[in-house]
Structure 1
């Protein structure tokens, strides 16, 4: 901002409420005038300014007479007044100024050139910079007045602060973001330093926790620090993490800065009814989102689908919604154009949620949100069986916050619980193939208790819970869940479900080092022809596991099973299947004395499996790879062919056997 003051006629600081726009503008201008001389003519546009008062206020701030120019100011305001700025009450007694107002739209209003020239002359003589602070209530009037001032006094310098840019060609916009909480590993950022000045010596991790919950907002930090008069810092950290700081209050120069609620309410009052409804309904979205998800949540009888994107853009310009990804990017996996993504900051989200509750719309919005997430999960499931599994993985990654919320928020009724269960079932590949087994089991265990009606969806959920338990080697739990799934599959005449159950029994037999039973179960699964190709591993993956089971028994049958599995594939982009087949090839070659061929196949399997991220097979491939490298290098017999040590465990001298069954969610 300081650099722009010398070159740009108009500099506008924009940002959300409480981010420090006014404080920063005044501090920079004070420093600027201290170094270069001059003065500042400041008008606080939000503090008691009424229709027609902007030019008068500027003249008064400059110490110039304003009575002679009141007509001009009111005519200017009449043309540009914001709908939220109060107008004269009907039926009031007309004053002299009202008598002189033009009677028709065809009568040209006074130009006000004398007043503008006088103000320009004053600013030039005094080397004054005009500061229009908090322009939002009279934004259009500010924009028109600034344009006319710059025409009347070309050398004039104007600084504006607002949540919304003025939209002029001469304008240089400086977006003020919240303060960074950290500047790197172990380095406190400005937000932590600001809080520390108010708390005194304190545990750094508590300061970071509070500032992260407040998202670095200077106003929120100041209000939270004020609460330390009645609670300790650990209590404050726990409270802001759970409930936010929307209703914290404290002393401030203006009423709207006495709390975050008041700050957001002031901006909310300036929004149109449609924008208010969209703001409130967006509050059910916990993370960032695209226009499609926003439309699913916000569209109703009073908000048409076509109005949502326009409302999003207006809320973005008003610094209510943040844009975290601009439109125009390209998907690196498919080359498709990427839509923009938005985010509602914590305080704006909490404020919107209070408005949603007061309107009695929270339950309906939450239901629409969960239904939209069910559609997202179904789309990801279909993409997983398509030509590029990375698309499905990226979709789940992008929508992780929303999917997690849809899975964990308490359902409102049985129908809502089924929607949550549908999400968990559709994400089977995320849990079973990508390695998030423990997380998937936790969701399924909870949701199965809430969805006890015997439905086809519940039958699938029982099978998936058993499959994940088997993969985590919880064998007894897996068998009980598979027993229930078998009963449900028979009741619903679900032949696909019976084949999937046979597949999991094959997995259990492999973990028990019983290849003969594994072969029988997996052969049964491979003979089935799926009616639903989207859900579950399917016959092709059963064939790949059959090749693994046959590897130590019969090399030719194992190679034949692997070839058949690849021929059954849905697409060439099925890396989960491809990596499993390569792993089976490596096992076959290793078991039958071809370590060099096994080494090549194992390397390819590891590369392909890393694209999916399954820790179970990655661990097995790494173990095998280490042994094969030693065997090829030293010319020794290939280790591990006797089957004494489980292939899914890390082993070696001094290493305690440790299973790799589940992948942990990475932190933020």
Structure 2
């Protein structure tokens, strides 16, 4: 159904005083789809999670486009946006849309709701490539709330985003410390955020960039985490770290074989689009004799992000 047809249908429902019932039904559907997608992602069925979001994408977009009129609806929709964190954070072209949803929903939700805290670190993650300073401000606002709530999962995710910010500014030592903290703090199988294995794999990447021998051990530790075989994201980052470490240590042939083999394993159904350009950059560096560079995704072109001050105003005061 086209957007025009949906808007026309919504107007007819309002005229018939049936809009509230239809809105309740659509909010519940949106929440259930997001919960199912997050459960698929967290349980190792990441390709299925991505496919579910693609299949339901239009329904989700329609519900999230319309500003909810009731606070309980806003809370449910914010929870749905947080549950779809992987769609906004991992997929190309979705970060700006996720930020727009967070900006619309955060101000109308009760500040003590757990989804508001999760929305804070997620907003920082989505802001980081385009505006690292603003992302840091969001994290500084969110961190005290996570401490007061005793939310180890949120504290671990905040540390992970700090690690990403350190990578963006080229401070590999700081990145390694933050990713280590994230891996140590995030509870096993905590939903709605990167897994411990992902943080360990990111730590291995930072260590590989530093040229430390610990990178291989950390990457293999990531690959040995319970349930990691279904965590495509963690596996790809860890294997990228191993190839990067080989290149950094002068084992060019081993690095090239590993990177090519990992790249060949990718297909269009894989849920981690940044893996291919990272591996291609590494292969190019190896083949041309260039230095070992860590791939950092660029900010999306033509992004129209929510101004950071407006996002900060949506979060509870520390």
Q: TM-score, normalised by structure 2?
A: 0.85
Q: 1:606: how far off?
A: 3.1
Q: 1:352: how far off?
A: 8.4
Unmatched runs of 5 consecutive residues or more in structure 1: 1-211, 214-240, 245-285, 287-348, 631-637, 650-658
Match of 2:210, SS state, is coil
Answer 1 or 2: which has greater helix percent. 2
1:553-632 mapped onto 2 (5 Å cutoff)? 553-608=210-265, 611-612=269-270, 614-630=272-288
Q: Count how many residue pairs are aligned between Structure 1 and Structure 2.
A: 301
Q: 1:627: how far off?
A: 2.5
- Give the alignment's Cα RMSD to 1 decimal: 2.6
Note closer, same or farther for the CA distance 1:369–1:497 as it changes in structure 2 (3 Å cut). Answer: same
Of 634, 641, 648, the residue aligned with 2:296 is: 648
2-structure distance, mates of 1:569, 1:360: 51
1-structure distance, mates of 2:75, 2:46: 26
2-structure distance, mates of 1:409, 1:422: 16
| Residue 373, structure 1, aligned to residue 30, structure 2 | yes
Of 147, 150, 158, the residue aligned with 1:501 is: 158
Aligned to 2:198: 541
2-structure distance, mates of 1:497, 1:605: 31
Q: 1:419: how far off?
A: 1.5
1-structure distance, mates of 2:42, 2:226: 9
Aligned to 1:485: 142
Note closer, same or farther for the CA distance 1:350–1:584 as it changes in structure 2 (3 Å cut). Answer: same
Aligned to 1:309: none
1-structure distance, mates of 2:215, 2:9: 61
Aligned to 1:469: 127
| Residue 382, structure 1, aligned to residue 39, structure 2 | yes
Q: 1:618: how far off?
A: 3.0
Note closer, same or farther for the CA distance 1:620–1:408 as it changes in structure 2 (3 Å cut). Answer: same
| Residue 639, structure 1, aligned to residue 290, structure 2 | yes
Aligned to 2:106: 448
Aligned to 2:54: 397
1-structure distance, mates of 2:123, 2:229: 28
Match of 1:551, SS state, is helix
Query: Larger C-alpha radius of gyration, 1 or 2?
Result: 1
Cα pair 1:425 1:461 within 8 Å, conserved: yes
1:23-62 mapped onto 2 (5 Å cutoff)? none
- Spell out, residue by residue over 1:390-410, the C-alpha distance to the aligned partner (whole angstroms, 9 max, x if none): 111111011000111121111
2-structure distance, mates of 1:368, 1:618: 39
2-structure distance, mates of 1:523, 1:441: 27
Aligned to 1:526: 183
Aligned to 2:315: none
Note closer, same or farther for the CA distance 1:615–1:456 as it changes in structure 2 (3 Å cut). Answer: same
Answer 1 or 2: which has greater strand percent. 1
- Spell out, residue by residue over 1:466-496, the C-alpha distance to the aligned partner (whole angstroms, 9 max, x if none): 11222x2421111111112212212211111
- Spell out, residue by residue over 1:508-540, the C-alpha distance to the aligned partner (whole angstroms, 9 max, x if none): 111111111111111111222516522211221
2-structure distance, mates of 1:371, 1:595: 53
1-structure distance, mates of 2:186, 2:11: 48
Cα pair 1:619 1:648 within 8 Å, conserved: no
Match of 2:230, SS state, is coil
Note closer, same or farther for the CA distance 1:570–1:469 as it changes in structure 2 (3 Å cut). Answer: farther
Cα pair 1:506 1:519 within 8 Å, conserved: yes
2-structure distance, mates of 1:621, 1:368: 44
2-structure distance, mates of 1:426, 1:437: 14
Q: 1:387: how far off?
A: 3.5
1:81-480 mapped onto 2 (5 Å cutoff)? 242=4, 286=6, 350=8, 354=12, 356-435=13-92, 436-451=94-109, 453-470=111-128, 472-480=129-137
Cα pair 1:623 1:647 within 8 Å, conserved: yes
- Spell out, residue by residue over 1:27-81, the C-alpha distance to the aligned partner (whole angstroms, 9 max, x if none): xxxxxxxxxxxxxxxxxxxxxxxxxxxxxxxxxxxxxxxxxxxxxxxxxxxxxxx
1-structure distance, mates of 2:39, 2:66: 25
2-structure distance, mates of 1:660, 1:600: 30
Cα pair 1:386 1:571 within 8 Å, conserved: no
Cα pair 1:627 1:639 within 8 Å, conserved: yes
Q: TM-score, normalised by structure 1?
A: 0.42
2-structure distance, mates of 1:608, 1:577: 14
Note closer, same or farther for the CA distance 1:483–1:519 as it changes in structure 2 (3 Å cut). Answer: same
2-structure distance, mates of 1:647, 1:572: 23
